[in-house]
Structure 1
């Protein structure tokens, strides 16, 4: 591989980028990240706001230090297209905002029953248990966001935060809270001890096992790296994404305690995208690891799907 400097032709794609250079100079042994940094320095944009693709076939240039310019197939006078992805926001920040919704909304409805429903009747035992379950679940998610998860992408478009947050603020926040803490809701009545205990056990087991799988996934990736390994351990021998399996188990537990249709609606709307993500991950594992990866027949639910 030659260490001589090569010139890459830079072309704008989509919205204009002020100060975008017409070309940049790099060495074949430089990392692909250097391409982004040179463009960012010239245009005064964050590297996270830029998408760079090969002019020849439109394939994306990875923002990786483990891939060299030569590895990307770029040569002297090759063209690269640069797109402005718009204002960005950190993935960690997005998750913190998403999960804060239910943490805020459920206590507001629980403690504000006299103002919201016009009742002086105290919350029932089931309403109290449901409140604790929901708040603890999302506090756990906040903790995982801060101290467990490692993100393959640093940022996402800022406008997406509203779409992503709607799922939690509206469905698991406003919709669930309004119906669960009503004076005449199913949770306002007496509990069935057997169903309540079963739901509580499912919830606790699901939450703890879900945390365990998240720690397993975290340990597959070195800090600052995007490379992944093959996950092994609790649940990974049965399905592709046991973290989703245990997530579902936990919410089934909440549903058994709250016995609310709104909880079921949130659960179903969560299962649909989780299934799609799990199927996509199974395909990626098979493609990335080949025969090293033990193929899974079921992606989320053992023996079912």
Structure 2
């Protein structure tokens, strides 16, 4: 049997040197591998780099035709889906400078209703090419101009009659007859009414940027200015007859007039400001102000207070022109109130059905 010879001293040193160097290297490699694996596990799964998507904006072409002869006027190109009819009108004005945006009427169909400026192009487009029909609306004016002209005229016209100018009344008769106190009260109430209208137009009402034909301004001014001249002529005439029941009739009428004027103002303030949710598209609700509690009974309390003011003015002055004006205003406002009431019925909850349009429990 062969016996293995013992290693020499040199070989033992060589073996110890080899084991002494390789064992620490293996331990270091294991530590590095363990650290790397922990790092990969903590980082989670590798996600691929997302590909960059290049969005393509879709543009529309608006073909504008003449509503009368269907001839093409121009093509407005590169219209984005978020553009409105107002933007299209401005681009149309750049292509055709003779047509101002305010007098441009656009229809989706011939003979159809005119599209509002806030209508979105994407909402009416069925393809990339949209055909609209153009109609010249004529000379236009802003609604602010209309209201200021309608209300400033009666304020100045009434004061001219109140001063009893010589080319309106006989000078001798005017100096000989003293004015009844109701004449001064009527002037104060009339001026207060139209001064409130002017201030609310400037600082309360939020009028849209839309315009109206110039003929509407002429008709409105003719109506208000003409009736004011007729009313002021009778009330400020030297031969004016005071009310039949004297001071009692005058006092009650003036108090009721002032209450209705205050109520009308507070209702207009509520209508001009959004509610607590920041949404204007809701049925106006009464506030802590008692004048706004009429919202619980009618949909249009501003018209209710307006008619109340003119009825009070009619009873206070006891003149036929004021009565006729009050009757015509009541008819017109009742039509406006019923139209607005129908809109409320379509938009809002069933509780509106328990309300009247303008006069509680009647109309």
**TM-score in terms of structure 1 length:** 0.87
- Does the aligned pair in 1 maintain the 2:283–2:348 contact within 8 Å? no
Please, which of 291, 299, 303 is the counterpart of residue 357 of structure 2? 299
Q: Which residue of 2 aligns with 1:214?
A: 268
Please, which of 228, 231, 249 is the counterpart of residue 308 of structure 2? 249
Are positions 1:239 and 2:298 aligned together? Answer: yes
Give the stretch that moved more between structures: 118-127 or 30-39: 30-39
Q: Which residue of 2 aligns with 1:33?
A: 86
Give the stretch that moved more between structures: 86-95 or 291-300: 291-300
Over 3 Å counting, the alpha-carbon distance change for 1:2 and 1:29 in structure 2 is: farther
Q: What's the CA shift for 1:31?
A: 3.1
Q: What's the CA shift for 1:59?
A: 4.6
Q: What's the CA shift for 1:195?
A: 1.1
Please, which of 21, 25, 35 is the counterpart of residue 74 of structure 2? 21
Please, which of 242, 258, 266 is the counterpart of residue 204 of structure 1? 258
- Does the aligned pair in 1 maintain the 2:260–2:308 contact within 8 Å? yes
Q: What's the CA shift for 1:178?
A: 1.1
Q: What's the CA shift for 1:91?
A: 0.8
Distance 2:192 2:217 in 1: 23
1:182-228 deviations in Å (ceiling 9; x for gaps): 222223x786222111101111100000001111111139xxxx964
- Does the aligned pair in 2 maintain the 1:10–1:24 contact within 8 Å? no
Count of residue pairs the alignment pairs up: 295
Give the structure with the larger helix fraction.
Answer: 2
Are positions 1:162 and 2:215 aligned together? Answer: no
Q: What's the CA shift for 1:117?
A: 2.6
Q: Runs ≥4 in structure 1, deviation > 4 angstroms?
A: 14-17
Please, which of 100, 112, 122 is the counterpart of residue 58 of structure 1? 112
Superposition CA RMSD, Å: 2.7
Please, which of 122, 125, 130 is the counterpart of residue 178 of structure 2? 122
Are positions 1:109 and 2:161 aligned together? Answer: yes
Distance 1:75 1:2 in 2: 16
Distance 1:129 1:196 in 2: 9
Matches within 5 A, 1:169-180: 169-171=225-227, 173-180=228-235
Structure 2 unmatched ranges of 5 or more:
1-54, 287-291
Secondary structure at the residue paired with 1:8? strand
Q: Which residue of 1 aligns with 2:62?
A: 8
- Does the aligned pair in 2 maintain the 1:48–1:88 contact within 8 Å? yes
Structure 1 unmatched ranges of 5 or more:
none
Q: Which residue of 1 aligns with 2:187?
A: 131
Over 3 Å counting, the alpha-carbon distance change for 1:154 and 1:30 in structure 2 is: closer
Please, which of 186, 192, 198 is the counterpart of residue 246 of structure 2? 192
Secondary structure at the residue paired with 2:112? coil
Q: What's the CA shift for 1:150?
A: 1.4
